[in-house]
Amino acid sequence: MDRFFARFLQRLRTDFQLSIISLMGLFGVLGISPYAVYRLLEGNYLVGISDLVIVLSTVAAVIFAWVTGNTTKAGLYVCCVFTCLATLIAINLGVNGLFWIYPLILFNFFMVSPGKASIATLLVLAGLIGHSLWQPGTVFESYYQMGSFLVTSLMACILTLIFAYRTQLQREQLQVLAIQDGLTGARNRRAMDTDLKIAASRKRRHGKPQALLVMDLDHFKQINDRFGHPAGDQVLIDFVRLIKRSSRQEDLLYRFGGEEFLLLLQDTELSGLQSAAAQLHQQVRSGLLGPGGPVTVSMGGAVLQSCEPWTSWLQRADRCLYQAKSTGRDRIIIDTQESQPQAHVDPQSTPLVASTDT
Ligand SMILES: Nc1nc2c(ncn2[C@@H]2O[C@H](COP(=O)(O)OP(=O)(O)OP(=O)(O)O)[C@@H](O)[C@H]2O)c(=O)[nH]1
């Protein structure tokens, strides 16, 4: 029970959209249910049933979001239902129903993207104004009241739109910062762990070959010691730029230590890894120039075995890198064990090493 509750809280904490939908669901049920009952008792069945549909739709959307994790669809659904029914209620109730349009405007900006929420608001306003022009006196008591409502609701919409755009932009920036290395722009250690786990699961589920290359700049400390930290930083930046330029667009580059990098090559077999490594190694040799001359790199690579945990895959590549370093640097060593379906992999086994002295 405790674990269930802890997971429940964890999901609420980490999934912003889910927590908003749940909160709105709670407000919807507590805030609108009494009105549904009141309207039904009063005999206003159109409004009563509309309120009831709103409450039931909210509950359904919250359950859908929790079960499937698809908060986008759930949000879009409640946005459509609320927008249509709130307009219908406002047309039926007149001024008393208009009060609900303001929270609806805010609500939609929480549920869907700022663009969609603006469209929903404009549709509500068009519906209400159109209806009151068609049948004067039904929604608004006077043109003055209609004008005031139009201006204030548009102001609420524009201000919320600005706020929503700012928040969305900041959230996107934070998401990038959370997975990016500040100096080089490569992905960071946290992203690497997540992506390697996903790569291992892609291999297990779909049999897609996965390869990785661990790279470590040679004698990097000397650059720092002789030319200073900023010069070392520049070499790291240049290295990342060069690797990104020379690898495929779908390959993902991570910085996971001071001068240690990892390239994840998805859908890549051993032969692909070998040729990519040889090409990148050559590019670094000819294209990476530090303040004291050319900078070289040592590389270790491995292809993911069937059913192998990602940690052991990384360890095998790391062992190859260690061998490349200890046998003289500026070289590539790739574990040539081919992936064998259902083969049991002993993480302690010594890799079959193919040294590609370039
Ligand atoms: N400029 C700079 N240096 C860094 C950064 N992070 C780590 N370092 C330095 O990287 C150096 C790594 O040194 P070592 O681990 O001895 O590696 P190395 O000198 O390249 O030697 P080998 O790897 O054995 O060839 C250390 O001097 C760290 O201070 C960074 O962000 N910027």
ipTM of the complex: 0.94
Cβ of residue 229 lying under 6 Å from some atom of ligand 1: yes
| Residue 83 confidence (pLDDT) | 94
Q: What is the pLDDT of residues 286-342, one digit of tens each?
A: 999 999 999 999 999 999 998 899 999 999 999 999 999 999 999 999 998 755 433
Q: What is d(CA 354, CA 277) in angstroms, rounded to the nearest whole number?
A: 13
Mean of pLDDT over the chain? 90
| Per-residue DSSP letter, 121 | H
| Residue 17 confidence (pLDDT) | 86
Q: What is the pLDDT of residues 247-279, one digit of tens each?
A: 999 999 999 999 999 999 999 999 999 999 999
Q: Looking at ligand 1, which atom is closest to the CA of residue 216?
A: 23
Q: What is d(CA 14, CA 77) in angstroms, rounded to the nearest whole number?
A: 22
Q: Domains in the chain and their CATH numbers?
A: 2-179 (no CATH), 189-356 (3.30.70.270)
Q: 109: which 2 tokens?
A: 């900006």
CA 297 – ligand 1 centroid, Å: 12
Q: Which of 240, 283, 284, 285 is nearest to 263 (CA)?
A: 240
By alpha-carbon position, which residue is closest to atom 13 of ligand 1? 221
By alpha-carbon position, which residue is closest to atom 29 of ligand 1? 221
| Residue 123 confidence (pLDDT) | 96
CA 257 – ligand 1 centroid, Å: 9
Within 10 Å of residue 139's Cβ, how many Cβ atoms? Answer: 26
Cβ of residue 330 lying under 6 Å from some atom of ligand 1: no
By alpha-carbon position, which residue is closest to atom 26 of ligand 1? 221
Cβ of residue 220 lying under 6 Å from some atom of ligand 1: yes
Identify whether the C-beta of residue 336 lies closer than 8 Å to the C-beta of residue 354: yes
Report pTM: 0.68
Tens-digit pLDDT profile for the chain (358 aa)? Answer: 678 888 888 888 888 889 989 998 898 889 899 999 999 999 999 999 999 999 999 999 999 999 999 999 999 999 999 999 999 999 998 888 899 899 999 989 988 999 999 999 999 999 999 999 999 888 899 999 999 999 999 999 999 999 999 988 998 899 889 999 999 999 999 999 999 999 999 898 888 999 999 999 999 999 999 999 999 999 999 999 999 999 999 999 999 999 999 999 999 999 999 999 999 999 999 999 999 999 999 999 999 998 899 999 999 999 999 999 999 999 999 998 755 433 333 333 333 344 444 3
List C-alpha distances in Å: 316 to 89, 167, 171, 254: 65, 43, 37, 17
Query: Which positions are annotated as active-site residues?
Result: 259
Residues with Cβ within 8 Å of 114's Cβ and at least 6 positions away in sequence, in order, are 161, 164, 165, 168
By alpha-carbon position, which residue is closest to atom 7 of ligand 1? 258
CA 216 – ligand 1 centroid, Å: 9
| Residue 348 confidence (pLDDT) | 37
| Residue 338 confidence (pLDDT) | 59
CA gyration radius for the chain? Answer: 30
Q: What is d(CA 67, CA 69) in angstroms, rounded to the nearest whole number?
A: 6
